Amino acid sequence: MPELPEVETTRRGIAPHVEGREIVEVIVRQPHLRVPVPDDLIERLVGARVGVLARRAKYLLIPVASSDTGGDAQGSSLLWHLGMSGSLRIARLGELPKKHDHIDLVFDDGALLRYHDPRRFGFVDWLAGSAESDPRLVRLGPEPLSDAFGGERLYRLSRGRKMAVKPFLMDSTIVVGVGNIYAAEALFLAGIDPRRSAGRISRERYERLAAAVREVLAAAITQGGTTLRDFVSGTGEPGYFKQELNVYGRHGQACRRCGAELRLVTLGQRASVFCADCQS
């Protein structure tokens, strides 16, 4: 599933090609996604101009405004979620769609934004007004690369929690965008056993964990995300952070730090790989 680095990589890749451009055509080949494509999406978007793209957690926000500032689309956005297998990339007019290319936004310069999603677990929806008031976004925790996130927040919210620290870290009300891959990697860097009770970890160790989260996510964004199966960037490139993974997907292999065999457990119904010697 595309996680925060993959969505941020997508935003950075497509932004230069779509920001400030007018949408001249919308092609919907498959309206039956996880959330059905709004019936009036084409009517709303044709003639609208794209603003500055943003990301909130794993959601991509594409602001659009009608060319007439008094128009219905003023102050509105597309809310796009890539689901488990979705990707957005830039194509050109005349480039034939592939199977599972469900939506095209065609721009005034001949470029188009193409949505590909084999499993159809992603969606695009129309948001009128402030995106932060949308119920899917309003309860989300802070961005992990923002000043609002840190070890003090993790320490404070973990007090009295008996749940394991890994699913605690993956809770989007605590902090957004730390999915299974990046939680496993951050816990390894911080030297914390993912099975440990969240409420029994010290403030000092949470400070190390917050720093590790930032380090891992920043590195993944720099590497273009992690391609495990379906993900490609907005320019069609895979992510290369997979080659930097220390623990995720490596159970039974040697720890890169100490050489011990990496172990696999299930926490919160998710596979978790760790080094019992390096993480305590």
CATH number where 198 lies? 1.10.8.50
* Alpha carbon distance 225, 179 (integer Å): 12
146 in any annotated domain? no
What would the two tokens of residue 113 be?
């934004």
The crossing angle, in degrees rounded to 10, of helices 203-222 and 4-18 is 40
Alpha helices in 40-169 (DSSP H): 41-45, 151-158, 165-169
Task: Kindly state whether residues 59 and 175 are assigned to the same domain.
Answer: no
3-state helix, strand, coil in the chain (%, to 5): 25, 25, 50
- Collapsing DSSP to helix, strand or coil, 257 comes out as coil
250 is in an annotated binding site: no
The answer on 127 and 87 residing in a single domain is: yes
Q: What is the pLDDT of residues 31-77, one digit of tens each?
A: 999 999 999 999 999 999 999 999 999 999 999 997 554 444 457 99
Beta bridge partners of 263: 274
Write down which residue in 79, 100, 133 finishes a domain.
133
| Domain co-membership, 189 together with 158 | yes
222-269 pLDDT per residue, tens: 887 554 344 344 455 544 455 678 999 999 999 999 999 999 999 999
Do 260 and 211 belong together in one domain? yes
Picking from 42, 47, 48, the residue whose alpha carbon sits closest to that of residue 27 is 42
Q: Tell me if 140 is assigned to some domain.
A: no
The answer on 258 and 177 residing in a single domain is: yes
Mean pLDDT of the chain: 90
Nearest Cα neighbor of 231 from 56, 80, 5, 6 is 6
Where is the domain boundary, 79, 103, 133? 133
In a domain, 139, yes or no: no
- Please indicate, yes or no, whether residues 118 and 182 belong to a single structural domain of this protein: no
Residue 145 lies in a domain: no
Residue 269 and residue 201 in one domain: yes
Q: CATH code at 14?
A: 3.20.190.10
Is residue 279 assigned to a domain? no
Q: Which domain holds residue 265?
A: 151-274
pLDDT digits (tens, 9 = 90+) for 190-209: 999 999 999 999 999 999 99
Q: Is residue 241 part of a domain?
A: yes
User: Is 95 part of any domain?
Assistant: yes
Q: Residue 79 carries which DSSP code?
A: E
Residue 86: pLDDT above 90?
yes
- Pair 187, 218 in one domain: yes
Say whether both 163 and 259 belong to one domain.
yes
Known catalytic residues are 2-3, 58, 270
Q: In terms of domains, do 160 and 262 share one?
A: yes
Q: How many domains does the chain have?
A: 2
**119 assigned binding-site residue:** yes
Do 34 and 117 belong to one domain? yes
Do 126 and 155 belong to one domain?
Answer: no
Q: Does 138 fall in a domain? A: no
